[in-house]
């Protein structure tokens, strides 16, 4: 049983490491902090609940069952952190969020204090490592302590289920899938862990023996619930990193074209930098390069390619992208050759600079390798600048 519990703790802990990889930036985000605190406390609950840990704690303290209030207090702290996470996730005014967080922390601080006091008042001299909840189900003060920790955890899981159901209707994509995974994990915790605990305890009160529900069924159900919840926490971030990796690769042609004129500071070296960080730096650097190339924009090139694309049957948006790709390629050539800016240069905003996110830059990057229109290029000086034309230089090496 200890192996299963330790494995669940390891999964929970690794989730927090992945979410909290950049401490200086993460501590500024209450949502990230509360998420990582909840995950770390969840991992500590599993560590404390392992029979091997309980035996060691009891031996070191010299107090039979000292690991019980330690585990139950840690579980209550985890329940509190879950509610704090939900408060930060929902958002609102800073003062309102802080007030709610303080109320929740105060309530669970009283709960943890009550657990410790009840344990001190109880007569629990017989060490129980796996069946303490049922063995002491009828013992004064121990009975109340057990019910208190279960009720505190049940409240947190019920609130989490309600919030996940409501938010899953308002969002879509990976976030909705993540919420559904968290919901399944919370329901499994409620049914597979808490309901089995309640049932085994009530059975003891009525003179029946259903201890196997608490000792055999509940621990693996709690571990599986933790696995699903951690997957739900990670999924939106993992999908975002995957999408960022794709955009980073699709921006490579554009970056290879303009990187020689970019003056943006280079990022710190390191293979460990996640795709979103790499994409953010590449996006900033490309925008910086576009500003540097703006004086070299020859609008005769743009107008010629745009008109040619429209005559070839392309949509206005596709014609604009083809024209801007040719305009940018011509500007990069002029800048590399240290030519004087053309007399037709003027103020013009590329489509990629008018839209938020990386979508505009990705479209521009893809247009660089797309034929201007119908496989033929217009005559004139612009021909050598057209993406996909016969005179296009070798494809740049992707960094």
Task: Enumerate residues 6+ apart whose C-beta is below 8 A from 99.
Answer: none
Q: Residue ranges of the domains in the chain?
A: 2-241, 255-385
- Residues of the chain with pLDDT > 70, as a percent, come to 82
- Most distant CA pair in the chain, distance: 96
Most confidently modeled range among 90-94, 137-141, 264-268, 333-337 = 137-141
Supply the DSSP symbol for 194: I
Sign of CA dihedral 26, 32, 35, 38: positive
pLDDT at 16: 55
How long, in residues, is the chain?
399
pLDDT at 196: 96
Residue 360: both structure tokens together: 């505009």
pLDDT 10s digits, 114-149? 999 999 999 999 999 989 999 999 999 999 999 999
Among left, alpha and beta (phi > 0; psi -120 to 50; other), residue 141 is: left
Q: How far apart are CA 397 and CA 399, in angstroms?
A: 6
- Of the pLDDT bands very low, low, confident and very high (cuts 50, 70, 90), residue 40 is confident
pLDDT at 378: 39
What does pLDDT average to over the chain? 83
- Of the pLDDT bands very low, low, confident and very high (cuts 50, 70, 90), residue 249 is very high
CA 388 to chain centre: 39
Rg of the chain taking only CA atoms, in angstroms = 30
Name the one residue in this structure whose structure tokens are 């976030």.
175
Other CB atoms within 10 Å distance of the CB of residue 136:
23
Q: pTM score, two decimals?
A: 0.74
Q: How far apart are CA 279 and CA 399, in angstroms?
A: 13
Q: How far apart are CA 103 and CA 28, in angstroms?
A: 22
Alpha helix (H) ranges present in 20-93?
Answer: 23-26, 30-49, 51-61, 67-90
Q: Closest Cα to residue 132, out of 51, 217, 226?
A: 51
Contact 383, 399 (CB under 8 A): no
Supply the DSSP symbol for 55: H
Q: Does domain 2-241 have CATH number 1.20.1070?
A: yes
Q: How far apart are CA 78 and CA 329, in angstroms?
A: 56
pLDDT 10s digits, 180-212? 999 999 999 999 999 999 999 999 999 999 999
């Amino acid at each position: 049983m200890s192996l299963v519990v330790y494995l669940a703790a390891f999964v929970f802990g690794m989730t927090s490491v992945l979410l909290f990889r950049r401490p200086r930036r993460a501590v500024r985000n209450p949502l990230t902090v509360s998420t990582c605190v909840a995950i770390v406390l969840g991992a500590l609950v599993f560590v404390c609940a392992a029979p091997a840990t309980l035996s060691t704690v009891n031996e070191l303290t010299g107090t039979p069952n000292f690991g019980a209030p330690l585990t139950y207090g840690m579980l209550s702290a985890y329940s509190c952190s879950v509610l704090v996470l939900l408060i930060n996730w929902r958002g609102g005014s800073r003062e309102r969020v802080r007030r709610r967080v303080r109320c929740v922390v105060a309530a669970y601080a009283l709960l943890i204090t009550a657990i410790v006091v009840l344990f001190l008042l109880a007569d629990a001299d017989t060490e129980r490592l796996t069946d303490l909840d049922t063995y002491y189900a009828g013992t004064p003060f121990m009975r109340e302590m057990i019910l208190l920790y279960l009720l505190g955890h049940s409240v947190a899981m019920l609130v989490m289920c309600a919030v996940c159901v409501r938010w899953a209707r308002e969002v879509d994509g990976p976030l909705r899938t993540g919420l559904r995974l968290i919901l399944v994990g919370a329901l499994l915790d409620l049914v597979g862990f808490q309901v089995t605990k309640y049932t085994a305890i009530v059975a003891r009160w009525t003179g029946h023996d259903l201890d196997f529900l608490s000792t055999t069924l509940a621990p693996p159900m709690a571990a599986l619930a933790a696995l699903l919840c951690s997957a739900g926490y990670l999924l939106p971030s993992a999908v975002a990193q995957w999408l960022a990796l794709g955009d980073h690769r699709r921006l490579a042609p554009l970056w290879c074209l303009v990187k020689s004129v970019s003056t943006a500071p280079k990022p710190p070296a390191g293979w460990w930098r996640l795709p979103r960080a790499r994409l953010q730096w590449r996006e900033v650097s490309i925008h910086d390069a576009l500003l540097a190339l703006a004086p070299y924009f020859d609008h005769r090139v743009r107008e010629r390619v745009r008109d040619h694309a429209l005559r070839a049957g392309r949509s206005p948006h596709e014609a604009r992208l083809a024209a801007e790709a040719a305009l940018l390629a011509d500007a990069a050539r002029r800048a590399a050759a240290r030519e004087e800016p053309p007399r037709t240069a003027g103020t013009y905003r590329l489509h990629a600079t008018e839209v938020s996110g990386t979508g505009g830059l990705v479209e521009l990057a893809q247009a660089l390798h797309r034929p201007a229109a119908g496989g033929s290029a217009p005559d004139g000086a612009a021909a050598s600048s057209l993406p996909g034309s016969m005179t296009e230089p070798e494809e740049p090496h992707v960094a």
